[in-house]
């Protein structure tokens, strides 16, 4: 009760801080109150998270959240992670991230006397998040959640339901916190933009926002990439990106953010694009909210592989309301300043870096809009009253080949051009080496087997970017190594695209059935299923098996270990499957488990009632006489068929072949020894849906003494270039972060003009300021 | 050199038309891609009638055993849509993870000769992951 009330209290504190900062704009005594209030607010938010953490660590299953997301058997790391693995918990973590970031932003903004204007929208966002927590309180008790079950107050369940086995790995510890920090950071440039409009300082905000935008895109990008790694390495989706709504909706803010990063640079140099910049930074923030709405309201439930829950009507309306307030507030202040903002004249000379940057940023915006429309298409269609519809993955792939090529091409060009104007000779002089490299690179891709003109073209632009940025990178590295961030990030994107092209076209997948200890050859690889081993036996809530498969190729060998995981979480009804991956520099070996069967060494026959067939060896005919539906005992059901065996010399025998049905799929056959040489059994029954009398029996016949063996069915693939994807995304994140940090340090020194590149303003833009 | 730079700056005007042209190109491309790749959710009756690529949302019928034939790498099950119609679904691939637990299933593909040939199966298991599962007692 106390804890629930604390959430309300902290929310009230957030509202009070907003009001205090609002008043503090005019009167300094309120500013002092606001500052202390914000510190208290941060402590409060931290306390909520700590409270949830302690509840998880001490197994306080009175709380529905803790009961629903953890259990006594969870190890420490997963217990900690369970504090943010669910909806409410992730909102808590997000708010906590916001509160901490706010402390840093506040210090930064105070240097420029912008504190109040920045902190009003920022604390407003925190208040919004906390309002969601008030609606979906993480400290709700089980007897409140399940009131209709008449649970006594104070009831402490013996154990929790546990954490989804899909989340049982170290990725849960790193991916969500990174992603939520990225989401939280996107609030900063937005708050600074609003402050800039408020203060009518349409140029200055750009300098304050740039470093934060760099850091935000770095962390968000890293979070997205970690999600891809998770999907690839443990979830066994086979790839790292599936254009799923959840993935998409985290990508859209990143794309808007990166577009804004480039257009902010234009404004810093030329003073133009003022409206565009405010708009883009706002969109980056709003798309974070929209993403939250899409992924938590359940509106896209049918079109995603992620699981959604209906958060309840109140939270749904609240999310819509929060979005409405942000959109409305931003639109209002934008509208009031719109004409003011347009006073700067944008000059984009033909042979200039600013034009190339603007066109490139246009590509990024197009990409963001494409992903946004694709993801929202089911909703858009529904709002338009059209039949329910969704786009296929092909939609995104199709469009992103030309969009990607456009963005990369302009990135390369923008760096060959200079600001304002570029002498033609200089441009051509700079162009030919990268051009040559991209032609050679494209030829290499073609030679490697990518026989798709469009993709080779995309690859060529990636080589172009690599060449242009690589050259600057080397130069800079010798002269001013602290400034290499941006070029590192560009090179990273180029590597990411090259890797994606390679994985998308050069990887191959084969389906293989692997009987134990019997080598199976697929292409140049020989696979041998060696056996399985029970792991993690210290836990009683699961049965986890590690399958060992030896892979031999080119005289080398490696062993991969796919895992099958039965958990109490779903009453062990079905296994959770984890792939076995052998990391290699050029191409990973990737093995996703599909099925495990016991093969009985028998020949199988499908027979309907009255049908007959000749057994191998031509010695007997077998006819299915009838089905006998069974006696259920305990939880097993015994079924049987009656068959007639007729030898070629005319002698006939009638046999009853029983089998225990364990599950629909799993039968336990009883082998019947016939005439000391054959073994016959009923293996399965395939029911006929329309006419149950026409069901089929699967019979097995084998020679006496044949041993049973296990067959492990897998999907084996080779993933060339996958490491370029990881390396590229990592470089991008590191580069962006480094750039952001450098700019932050420079602007934090107090001089808003960052040393090497003073603001160049056109006379008209200066007037607007 | 200075003259050259000035000359460039004088001759150039905003190149909005260039951006506009590119934008129009992408819009046209986008709309055609949307037309090509959007797939409607329909009922089984509708899927059988048109034979086009569609998606069907429904539940898999538990009395009919889903079969994954590991030799042929084909997965078969029976789908029932919201109207209660049933169709046999054939999917060239393994049984999706967690299929047994799925509360609802979305299949994408087309109906050919009375059966549905799926290219993708999405399984939804909401109650197992969040909220609406049975209470603690």
Task: Give the model's pLDDT for residue A690.
Answer: 65
Q: Which two tokens stand for residue A748?
A: 């934090």
Would B73 be classed as within a structural domain? yes
CA-based nearest residue in chain B for residue A593: B94
Tokens 């997948």, residue located: A509
Q: Provide the pLDDT for residue B100.
A: 79
Please tell me the distance in Å from B112's CA to the nearest CA on chain A: 18
For residue A343, count other CB atoms closer than 10 A to its CB: 13
- In the block, which residue shows the tokens 């858009």? A380
The answer to whether B137 faces chain A, any CB pair under 8 Å, is yes
Question: A712: nearest CA in chain B?
Answer: B70
Cβ distance of A392 and B38 shorter than 8 Å: yes
| pLDDT given for residue A756 in this prediction | 37
Residue B57 lies in a domain: yes
* B90 touching chain A per CB within 8 A: no
Task: Give the model's pLDDT for residue A301.
Answer: 61
CATH assignment of the domain containing B59: 2.40.50.140
Residues B92, B71 share a domain: yes
pLDDT at A345: 66
Point out the residue among B67, B88, B126 whose CB comes nearest to the CB of A308: B126
Picking from A142, A155, A391, the nearest residue to B34 by CB comes out as A391
Closest CA in chain B for residue A145: B135
In this prediction, residue B21 carries a pLDDT of 87
* Domain co-membership, B29 together with B73: no
The nearest CA of chain B is from the CA of A674 a distance in Å of: 28
CA gap A475, A478 in Å, rounded: 6
pLDDT at A598: 81
Cβ-in-10-Å burial (0-12, 13-18, 19+) of A36 comes to exposed
Of A390, A329, A287, the closest CA to residue A121 belongs to A329
> What is the pLDDT at residue A539?
87
Comparing C-alpha atoms, which of A304, A389, A242 is closest to residue B53? Answer: A389
> Which helix or strand (DSSP H or E) is residue B36 part of?
helix B16-37
- Inspect the interface and report whether the beta carbons of B30 and A399 lie closer than 8 Å: yes
Are the Cβ atoms of A390 and B55 closer than 8 angstroms? Answer: yes
- What whole-number distance in Å separates Cα of residue A107 and Cα of residue A35? 10
Query: In terms of domains, do B69 and B99 share one?
Result: yes
Task: Supply the range of the domain harboring residue B67.
Answer: 44-126
The model carries a pTM of 0.87
Flag whether pLDDT at B101 surpasses 80. Answer: no
Q: Say if CB A597 and CB A547 are below 8 A apart.
A: no
Query: What is the number of CB-based contacts under 8 A between chain A and chain B?
Result: 191
HEC sequence for A593-652 = EEEEEEECCCEEEEECCCCEEECCCCCEEEEEEEEEEEEEECCEEEEEEEEEEEECCCCE
Burial of A48 (0-12, 13-18, 19+ CB in 10 A): buried
d(CA A635, CA A633): 6
**Rounded Cα gap, residues A681 and A668, in angstroms:** 10
Domain membership of residue B117 (yes or no) is yes
Check whether residue B49 and residue B95 sit in a common domain.
Answer: yes
Look at B122 and A305 and tell me if their CB atoms are within 8 Å: yes
Residues B78 and B112 in one domain: yes
| pLDDT reported for residue A634 | 62
Do B87 and B61 reside in the same domain of the chain? yes
Is B135 domain-assigned? Answer: no
A487: left (phi over 0), alpha (psi -120 to 50) or beta: alpha
Inside any domain, residue B76: yes
Distances A514 to A104, A683, B98 between C-alpha atoms, Å: 57, 20, 22
Same structural domain, B64 and B118 = yes
Give the model's pLDDT for residue B128: 35
3-state SS class at B82:
coil
In whole angstroms, give the CA distance from residue A398 to residue A458. Answer: 12
State how far the Cα of A203 lies from the Cα of A753, in Å rounded to an integer.
11
How many CA atoms does the CB half-sphere of A301 hold within 13 Å?
A: 17
Taking Cα atoms as reference points, which of A277, A294, A98 lies closest to residue A187? A98
Q: Are residues B72 and B102 in the same domain?
A: yes
Q: Compute the C-alpha angle A569/A573/A574, nearest 5°.
A: 95
Yes or no: say if A261 and A210 are a contact pair by the CB < 8 Å rule: yes
Q: B70–A687: do the CB atoms touch at under 8 Å?
A: no
Best mutation target among A574, A593, A692, A763 (most B Cβ atoms within 10 Å) is A574
Q: Could you give the count of Cα atoms lying within 13 Å of A603 in the half-sphere of its Cβ?
A: 11
Which range, A391-400, A726-735, B65-74, B104-113, is most confident? A726-735
Asked if residue B14 is part of any domain, the answer here is yes
Residues B28 and B86 in one domain: no
Mark yes or no for CB contact B33/A403 under 8 Å: no
Residue from the list B14, B94, B100 with its beta carbon closest to the beta carbon of A594: B94
Q: Rg (Cα) of chain A, in Å, rounded?
A: 32
Please list the alpha-helical segments (H only) found in A448-572.
Answer: 453-479, 485-506
DSSP one-letter string for A379-438? HHHHHTTPPPEEE-HHHHHHHHHHHHHHHHHHHHHHHHSPSS---HHHHHHHHHHHHHHH
Specify the pLDDT at position B137. 53
Residue B133 within any structural domain of the chain = no
**A659, A649 Cβ separation under 8 angstroms:** no
Task: Report residue A144: phi and psi, to 5°.
Answer: -85, -45
Nearest residue, CB atoms, A570 vs list B39, B73, B128: B128
Given A61, A155, A394, which is nearest B37 (Cβ)? A394
Q: Which residue has the tokens 């089980």?
A: A142
* B26 and B48 in a common domain: no
CA distance B45 to chain A (A): 15
Q: What is the distance between the alpha carbons of residues A191 and B125, in angstroms, rounded to a whole number?
A: 39
User: What is the mean pLDDT for each group of 10 consecutive residues in chain A (769 residues)?
Assistant: 91 97 92 95 96 96 93 92 90 96 94 93 95 92 87 89 85 92 97 94 93 97 94 82 89 98 93 90 94 77 56 73 90 89 74 91 96 91 84 93 96 94 89 96 95 95 97 92 92 97 93 93 94 89 92 94 86 84 93 87 83 82 84 72 86 87 73 85 78 80 82 94 96 97 82 42 38
Question: Both B33 and B67 in a single domain?
Answer: no
Please check whether residues B55 and B116 belong to one and the same domain.
Answer: yes
Please report the ipTM that was assigned to this predicted complex.
0.84
Q: State the pairing for strand pair B86-91/B115-124.
A: parallel
| CB-count burial class (<10 Å; 0-12, 13-18, 19+) for A470 | middle
Residues from chain B that touch A398, judged by Cβ atoms under 8 A, are 33, 36-37
The answer as to whether B55 is a domain residue is yes
Tell me how close the Cα of B111 comes to any Cα of chain A, in angstroms: 17
Name the minimum distance, in Å, from the CA of A321 to any CA of chain B.
23
Domain total of chain B: 2
Beta pairing partners, A652: A646
Q: Minimal Cα distance from A350: which residue of B? A: B12
């Amino acid at each position: 009760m106390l804890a629930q009330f604390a959430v309300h209290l902290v929310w009230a504190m957030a509202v009070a801080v907003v009001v205090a900062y609002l008043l503090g704009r005019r009167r300094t005594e309120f500013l002092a109150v606001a500052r202390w209030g914000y510190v208290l607010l941060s402590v409060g938010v931290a306390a909520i998270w700590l409270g949830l953490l302690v509840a998880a660590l001490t197994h306080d299953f009175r709380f529905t959240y803790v009961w629903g997301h953890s259990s006594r058997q969870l190890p420490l790391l997963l217990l900690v992670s369970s504090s943010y693995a669910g909806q409410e918990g992730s909102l808590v973590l997000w708010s906590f991230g916001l509160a901490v970031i706010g402390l840093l932003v506040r210090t930064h903004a105070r240097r420029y006397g912008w504190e109040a204007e920045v902190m009003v929208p920022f604390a407003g966002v925190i208040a919004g998040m906390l309002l969601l927590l008030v609606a979906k309180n993480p400290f709700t008790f089980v007897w409140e959640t399940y009131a209709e079950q008449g649970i006594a107050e104070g009831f402490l369940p013996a154990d929790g339901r546990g954490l989804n086995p899909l989340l049982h790995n170290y990725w849960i510890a790193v991916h969500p916190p990174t992603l939520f920090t990225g989401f939280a950071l996107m609030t900063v440039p937005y708050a600074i933009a609003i402050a800039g409009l408020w203060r009518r300082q349409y140029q200055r905000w750009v300098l304050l926002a740039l470093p934060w935008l760099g850091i935000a895109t770095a962390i968000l990008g890293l979070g997205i990439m970690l999600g891809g790694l998770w999907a690839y390495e443990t979830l066994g989706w086979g790839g790292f990106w599936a254009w799923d709504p959840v993935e998409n909706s985290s990508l859209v803010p990143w794309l808007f953010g990166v577009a804004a990063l480039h257009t902010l640079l234009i404004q810093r140099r030329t003073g133009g694009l003022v409206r565009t910049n405010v708009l883009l930074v706002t969109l980056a923030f709003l798309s974070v909210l929209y993403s939250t709405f899409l992924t938590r309201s359940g509106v896209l439930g049918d079109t995603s592989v992620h699981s959604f829950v209906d958060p309840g009507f109140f939270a749904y309306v609240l999310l819509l309301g929060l979005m409405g307030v942000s959109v409305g507030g931003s639109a209002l202040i934008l509208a009031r300043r719109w004409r003011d903002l347009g006073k700067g004249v944008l000059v984009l000379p033909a042979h200039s870096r600013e034009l190339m940057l603007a066109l490139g940023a246009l590509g990024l915006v197009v990409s963001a809009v494409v992903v946004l429309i694709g993801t929202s298409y089911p909703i858009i269609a529904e709002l338009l009253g059209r039949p329910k519809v969704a786009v296929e993955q092909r939609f995104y792939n199709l469009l992103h080949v030309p969009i990607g090529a456009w963005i990369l091409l302009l990135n390369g060009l923008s760096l060959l051009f200079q600001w304002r104007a570029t002498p033609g000779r200089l441009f051509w002089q700079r162009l030919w080496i990268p051009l040559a490299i991209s032609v050679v690179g494209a030829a290499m891709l073609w030679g490697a087997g990518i026989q798709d003109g469009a993709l080779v073209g995309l690859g060529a632009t990636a080589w172009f970017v690599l060449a242009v940025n690589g050259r600057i990178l080397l130069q800079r590295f010798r002269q001013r190594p602290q400034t290499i961030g941006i070029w590192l990030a560009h090179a990273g994107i180029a590597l990411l695209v090259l890797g994606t092209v390679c994985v998308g076209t050069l990887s191959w997948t084969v389906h293989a059935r692997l009987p134990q200890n019997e080598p199976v050859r697929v292409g140049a690889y020989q696979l041998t299923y060696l056996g399985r081993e029970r792991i993690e036996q210290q836990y009683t809530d699961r049965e986890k098996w590690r399958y060992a498969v030896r892979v031999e190729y080119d005289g080398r060998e490696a062993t991969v270990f796919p895992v099958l995981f039965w958990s109490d979480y779903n009453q062990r009804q079905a296994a959770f499957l984890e792939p076995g991956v052998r990391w290699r520099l050029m191409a990973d070996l990737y093995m996703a488990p599909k099925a495990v069967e016991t093969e009985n060494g028998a020949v199988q026959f499908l027979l309907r009632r009255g049908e007959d067939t000749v057994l191998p060896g031509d010695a007997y005919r077998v006819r299915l006489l009838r089905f006998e539906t069974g006696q259920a005992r305990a939880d097993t059901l015994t079924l049987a068929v009656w068959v007639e065996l007729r030898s070629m010399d005319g002698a006939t025998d009638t046999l009853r072949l029983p089998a225990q049905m364990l599950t629909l799929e799993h039968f336990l056959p009883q082998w019947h020894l016939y005439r000391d040489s054959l073994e016959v059994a009923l293996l399965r029954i395939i029911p006929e849906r329309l006419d149950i009398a026409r069901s089929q029996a699967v019979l097995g016949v084998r020679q006496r003494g044949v041993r049973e063996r296990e067959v492990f069915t897998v999907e084996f693939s080779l993933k060339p270039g996958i490491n370029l994807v990881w390396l590229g995304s990592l470089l991008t994140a590191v580069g962006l972060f480094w750039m952001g940090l450098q700019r932050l340090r420079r602007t934090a020194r107090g001089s808003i003009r960052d040393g090497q590149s003073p603001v160049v303003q056109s006379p008209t833009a200066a007037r607007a300021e | 050199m200075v003259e050259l730079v000035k000359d460039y700056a004088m001759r150039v005007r905003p190149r909005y038309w260039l951006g506009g042209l590119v934008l129009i190109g992408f819009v046209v491309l986008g709309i055609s891609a949307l037309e090509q790749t959007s797939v409607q959710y329909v009922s089984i009756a509708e899927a059988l009638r048109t034979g086009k690529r569609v998606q069907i949302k429904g539940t898999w019928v538990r009395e009919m055993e889903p079969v994954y034939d590991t030799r042929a790498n084909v997965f078969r099950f029976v789908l029932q849509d919201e109207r209660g119609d049933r169709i046999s679904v054939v999917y060239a691939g393994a049984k999706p993870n967690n299929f047994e637990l799925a509360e609802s299933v979305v299949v994408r593909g087309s109906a050919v000769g009375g059966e549905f040939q799926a290219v993708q199966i999405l399984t939804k298991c909401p109650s197992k992951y969040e909220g609406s599962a049975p209470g603690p007692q």
